[in-house]
Chains A and B, each alone.
Chain A
Amino acid sequence: MTERPLLERSGHSANITEWEGTVQELRGLVSPRAFTGETMLLNMGPQHPSTHGVLRLLLELDGETVVSCVPDIGYLHTGIEKNMEAKTYEQAITMTDRMDYLNPMGNNLVYCLAIEKLAELDVPERAQIVRVLLAELTRINSHLVWLGTHCLDLGAMSVFLYAMREREMVLDIFEMVSGQRMMSTYFRPGGLWRDVPPEFIPAVKAFIDYFPAKVEEYETLLVNNPLWIDRTQGIGVITPEDAIAYGCTGPTLRGSGVNWDIRKAMPYMGYETYQFDVPLGEHGDVYDRFYIRMQEMKESVRIIRQAVERLEKTGGPFRSQNRKYVPPPRSELGRSMEAVIHHFKLWTEGFSLPEGEVYVSIESPRGELSCYLSSDGGNRPHRVHFRTPSFVHTMGAIPKMAEGSMIADLVAIIGSVDIVLGDCDR
């Protein structure tokens, strides 16, 4: 078949004009058949409801089969890394919440861990326990949103309503501790913003007593549901070798059977002292990734239960007493001149970190979330970079899984990888 100029060809031209790059660039991304008119180019997103945000995919279709998939991101790019360079270390924490809006506590945590590593700042035991507890609650919160929207994409409407109902309880707990339901900014360098209120432990206990039965309820709706199995099993398969080569982490990697969890491999915040299992998949398909996340919610409840037990026994400060990094409490200001000086210094110019660079990773609900922090000795970060799981998964895992799948399965694949575009574009 002869090759015709893309823009002149009728029918498909509307799709091609949406490609901002040159035709030469497009040539390397899609198969040569797209240029002869054998396959069709179709634009999916950025306003498609099943792309979980503003993800745009350029699809090359042979009938209903996806030949190649070119992700286009950046619609939610807010320059968070650049903005953080213009703020003091403590001010910049608020920016991290806005990256992955379903995992605000985890983002705070990774950034605070980086500061603490660079400053060699201690974190009291009580703060560590609360951090683990809230990080796991955040994981449940994120997985519930994922479950609801993933099911909604595949036509299971009722799960969404149930998942949102339980998520509300988690958000209430967040509001209780930080005053905010989503953008909590609760973790601070050296510990927490304030101690947890007295009603916190009863609320968490009520939640962990109530929640496992609800996970069972979701499972009765989905795990053995023949419609669900038809839509998910054997779809979007990725082999363990490919998953590692494409940089997959978290449930996407574990779905392929690779036992890699940062909480176990490189523990932080005392995760090595908690008893929990890492659920593993076998086939690397949508169903396995779904099943792993369901099990992870149960494991999170297990961790929370242990954390609550410890928290009841552990008193003491909720934040480091190192006054060079942590402002003194209000009560000290009336009595101590030194406290007034520290208070003034920390709330005007902030603290400075020693020159150097660190890299820390945590296991976020989506995978490995890492923070690179470089300091030039000043009171602002010299360079902050976040290695976000959604970015790597969107660019690598989704096109890989989509190749050869049906177009209707694409929403199942996108849902199963669990991307958040705020996390992806930063």
Chain B
Amino acid sequence: MQAPLDPVDLAKLSLKDAVLDVVEFRGETTIVVDPQRIVEVCQFFRDTEGLEYIFLSDITAVDYFPREPRFALCYHLYSMVYTRRLRIKVYLPGDNPRLPSVTSVWKSADWEEREAYDMMGIVFEGHPSLRRILMPSDWEGHPQRKDYPLGYEQVQFSFNFDEVNRLKPYAKE
């Protein structure tokens, strides 16, 4: 077995300008990369001997509204061989966020990307079937976005019955 290699040094050496930033926080390493080169980056981390991040644990989409770049995607990877973890992060603009899909690298990216699309509206180019996954297919908007209201229904009592009734979305003729 090859000795474990440092993912940060190796990434800076091999991927050069695709690596934008490296953050160390609470013992976790985050490598910020160029979103358009995400497939190449993921392939590099999966296949390079000494790294072998073969397991994609999760893709989390984060909304930093009103900051710009607004969206971020965190790819949480495991190296089962060396039992360690890495986070790859990309930042995306608030207007039309899109980046290539990594389903060709990890099969499990399929539904994680669908969830990110459903909840945040991030479009993954080249995804085999980018549909809504948790929300109904005719749902409007992306609920996990910060500018999407949490929503509630006003409780109907006898004193405000008519007022609340008027606001209810009954079928129109």
Residues of A within 8 A of B (CB): 20-21, 25, 28-29, 73-74, 77, 79, 81-83, 86, 117-118, 120, 244-247, 258, 260, 265-266, 356-359, 361, 368, 370, 372, 374, 382-383, 385, 387, 391-392, 395-396, 425-426
Residues of B within 8 A of A79 (CB): 143
Given A359-B28, A372-B76, A374-B62, decide whether A244 and B54 contact each other with a Cβ distance below 8 A. Answer: yes
CB of B80 closer than 8 Å to a CB of A: yes
Against A, the Cβ 8 Å flags (1 = close, 0 = not) of B99-139 are 00000001110110001000100000000110111111110
Residues of B within 8 A of A396 (CB): 107-108, 110-111
CB of B33 closer than 8 Å to a CB of A: no
Check A245–B106 contact: CB distance below 8 A: yes
Given A244-B80, A357-B25, A359-B28, decide whether A425 and B134 contact each other with a Cβ distance below 8 A. Answer: yes
How long is the Cα–Cα vector from A45 to B134 in the complex, in angstroms? Answer: 16
Closest to A28 in B: B129
Q: How far, in Å, is A407 (CB) from chain B's closest CB? A: 23
Residues of B within 8 A of A81 (CB): 119, 144
Number of B residues, CB within 8 Å of A: 39
Given A247-B108, A359-B28, decide whether A25 and B131 contact each other with a Cβ distance below 8 A. Answer: yes
List 21 A–B pairs whose Cβ atoms lie within 8 Å, in order of A's numbering.
A20-B136, A20-B137, A25-B131, A28-B129, A73-B134, A74-B136, A82-B143, A82-B144, A82-B150, A83-B150, A244-B80, A247-B108, A357-B30, A358-B28, A359-B74, A359-B76, A368-B57, A370-B58, A383-B62, A395-B111, A395-B133
Q: How far, in Å, is B82 (CB) from chain A's closest CB? A: 10
Q: How far, in Å, is B22 (CB) from chain A's closest CB? A: 14
Within 8 A of A (CB), among B53-111: 54-58, 60-63, 74, 76, 80, 83, 85, 87, 106-108, 110-111
Check A247–B55 contact: CB distance below 8 A: yes
Check B135–A77 contact: CB distance below 8 A: yes
Given A21-B131, A25-B131, decide whether A385 and B58 contact each other with a Cβ distance below 8 A. Answer: yes
Q: How far, in Å, is B1 (CB) from chain A's closest CB? A: 15
Residues of B within 8 A of A (CB): 25-26, 28, 30, 54-58, 60-63, 74, 76, 80, 83, 85, 87, 106-108, 110-111, 115, 119, 128-129, 131-138, 143-144, 150
How long is the Cα–Cα vector from A258 to B119 in the complex, in angstroms? Answer: 32
Residues of B within 8 A of A86 (CB): 150
Closest to B115 in A: A391
Closest to A241 in B: B54
Closest to B87 in A: A359
Q: How far, in Å, is B92 (CB) from chain A's closest CB? A: 15
Residue from the list A74, A357, A361, A385 in contact with B134, Cβ < 8 A: A74
Residues of A within 8 A of B110 (CB): 395-396
Residues of A within 8 A of B129 (CB): 25, 28-29
Closest to A372 in B: B60
Closest to A27 in B: B129
Residues of B within 8 A of A374 (CB): 62
How long is the Cα–Cα vector from A387 to B62 in the complex, in angstroms? Answer: 14
Most chain A CB within a 10 A radius of its CB, from B54, B63, B87, B111:
B111
Q: How far, in Å, is A117 (CB) from chain B's closest CB? A: 6
Residues of A within 8 A of B150 (CB): 82-83, 86
Q: How far, in Å, is A83 (CB) from chain B's closest CB? A: 7
Besides A74-B134, A245-B107, 11 more A-B contacts (Cβ < 8 Å) are A25-B131, A74-B136, A82-B144, A244-B55, A247-B57, A260-B80, A370-B58, A383-B62, A387-B58, A387-B76, A425-B134
How long is the Cα–Cα vector from A265 to B136 in the complex, in angstroms? Answer: 38
Check B57–A387 contact: CB distance below 8 A: yes
Residues of B within 8 A of A20 (CB): 136-138
How long is the Cα–Cα vector from A17 to B25 in the complex, in angstroms? Answer: 50
Closest to B54 in A: A244
Residue from the list A120, A372, A382 in contact with B58, Cβ < 8 A: A372
Residues of A within 8 A of B60 (CB): 372, 383, 385, 387
Check B108–A265 contact: CB distance below 8 A: no
Check A370–B57 contact: CB distance below 8 A: yes
Given A86-B150, A356-B25, decide whether A247 and B107 contact each other with a Cβ distance below 8 A. Answer: yes
Residue from the list B57, B62, B132 in contact with A361, Cβ < 8 A: B57
Residue from the list B85, B107, B133 in contact with A246, Cβ < 8 A: B107
Q: How far, in Å, is B123 (CB) from chain A's closest CB? A: 16
Residues of B within 8 A of A118 (CB): 26
How long is the Cα–Cα vector from A372 to B25 in the complex, in angstroms? Answer: 14
Check B85–A266 contact: CB distance below 8 A: yes
